[in-house]
Amino acid sequence: MKLSKILAVLVVLGLVCGLAALAIKLVAGAVSVISGLLNTLIALALIAALVLIVIWMFRYASKHK
């Protein structure tokens, strides 16, 4: 094989590896964003539940003095 063919194969192989790495990083980033969103929603639900429990406790205490 000529040097130019070997160089072309190496360049194409490098581009394919680079594109594969980019695709993997994009998928990992998307999963990270979705995971962060899910954690945020769970935290908001937990805070809302705690606020409702505190409100219920004060209403219950005021009715049963």
Write the pLDDT tens digit of every residue in 11-65.
Answer: 999 999 999 999 999 999 999 999 999 999 999 999 999 999 999 999 999 998 7
**Residue burial 8-32, b: 16+ Cβ < 10 Å; e: rest:** eeeeeeeeeeeeeeeeeeeeeeeee
pLDDT of residue 1: 72
Structure tokens belonging to residue 65: 């003095």
Looking at residues 3-12, what average pLDDT do you find?
A: 91
pLDDT of residue 64: 86
Cα–Cα distance, 58 to 51 (Å, whole number): 11
pLDDT of residue 16: 96
**The whole model's pTM is what?**
0.65
pLDDT of residue 3: 85
